[in-house]
Amino acid sequence: MTDVLMAILVAGFTSGALYALATVGLSLVWGSMGMLNMAHAAMLTLGGYVAFTVITSLGLPIALGFAGAIVAGAVAGAILYFAIVRNLLKNDKSTFEANVMIATVGIGIALENAILLTYGGQPLKQPVSIAGTFRLGPLTLPWQNLMIIAVVVVMMVVVSLALGRTRMGRAIRATAQNRDAAQLMGVAVNRVYLQVLMLSGALAGICGVMVSSMTQLSPPLGNDPMLKAFIMCVVAGLGNLPGAVAAALGLALLESFVQYALGARWGFPSLLFVVIAVLIWRPSGLFGRAEIRRM
């Protein structure tokens, strides 16, 4: 029984960590610029494949694979900014939310398809993996899962330090909280948007490497984590980073319990049930601030 419980907890915490990484990337972009990036899934996938290419095809060390995924994600974020976001921001503000969603949906499909055309549809093995288990008293923990959790914790610390302690991070938060006031203080908000998209892309890249190391590389790799990350963002309230992490862990644990108790196919529906229940109770999420609509 403890073995089963342990297995569920390990699976839950591992996927929770991965979802948290995906969720934070999405939530950061939403919180600071009111943009839902539907191409996040494809950016995740891109990171996984770039790491694969760097390590397997070029034969470089794993650390460079990670670096490659980070750079690829950040570059994808920058391209997204210059090709799409910057242009849509020039139009009427009220149309931005829907337009940027539709446009990034298009970019997402195109990128996923480009990956399919480049690498083919057959699943590939992500070389970033550590075999073996770690024994701690009666507990047996796979190194792979521990590595994922460790990497995610490190990334979270890096992100929170970057947002909390640096001048750039303060400018990002200021823009999120009051865009006009941030501009008055001399913040170039367009540059902030670019930085946020690059940061979010870099997080997506790492997340992609981690996700593919648990399963396999395939072009639709990012879709499942992104869909769940969406649900977690909604449960937490879009734009709330600590809330997003908490929701990711909580829902991932719930998911792995449900999958064990009722079968794998009920994992996602159980998440949907939670999100609907939460939204009926609190339409802006558990930790979301209700927006006051001005007439």
Please, which of residues 53-92 interact with other proteins by CB under 8 A?
A: 83-84, 87-88, 91-92
Our finding on whether 18 is near other proteins (CB under 8 A) is no
**Residue with smaller CB distance to other proteins, 238 or 247:** 238
What is the C-alpha separation between 204 and 155, in angstroms, rounded?
Answer: 11
Q: Binder to other proteins among 9, 79, 170, 287 (CB under 8 A)? A: 170
Stretch that binds other proteins, among 11-19, 63-71, 143-151, 260-268 (CB under 8 A): 260-268
Query: What is the number of other CB atoms lying within 10 angstroms of the CB of residue 44?
Result: 33
Q: Binder to other proteins among 10, 50, 72, 103 (CB under 8 A)? A: 103
- Coil, strand or helix at 284: coil
**Residue with smaller CB distance to other proteins, 157 or 276:** 276
What is the C-alpha separation between 18 and 216, in angstroms, rounded?
Answer: 15
Q: Binder to other proteins among 117, 139, 150, 153 (CB under 8 A)? A: 117
Our finding on whether 98 is near other proteins (CB under 8 A) is yes
Our finding on whether 169 is near other proteins (CB under 8 A) is no
CA–chain centroid gap for 179, Å, is 24
Q: Cα separations (Å) of 46 from 1, 19, 138, 164, 186?
A: 39, 17, 39, 28, 35
With vertex at residue 249, the alpha carbon angle to CA 143 and CA 245, rounded to the nearest 5 degrees, is 110
Burial class (CB in 10 A: 0-12, 13-18, 19+), 101: middle
Stretch that binds other proteins, among 47-55, 59-67, 242-250, 274-282 (CB under 8 A): 274-282
- 209 and 70 Cβ atoms separated by less than 8 Å: no
Give residues in contact with other proteins (CB under 8 A): 30, 36, 83-84, 87-88, 91-92, 94-95, 97-99, 101-111, 113-114, 116-117, 167, 170-171, 173-174, 177-178, 180-189, 223, 227, 230-231, 233-234, 238, 264-265, 268-269, 271-272, 275-276, 279-280, 283-284, 293-295
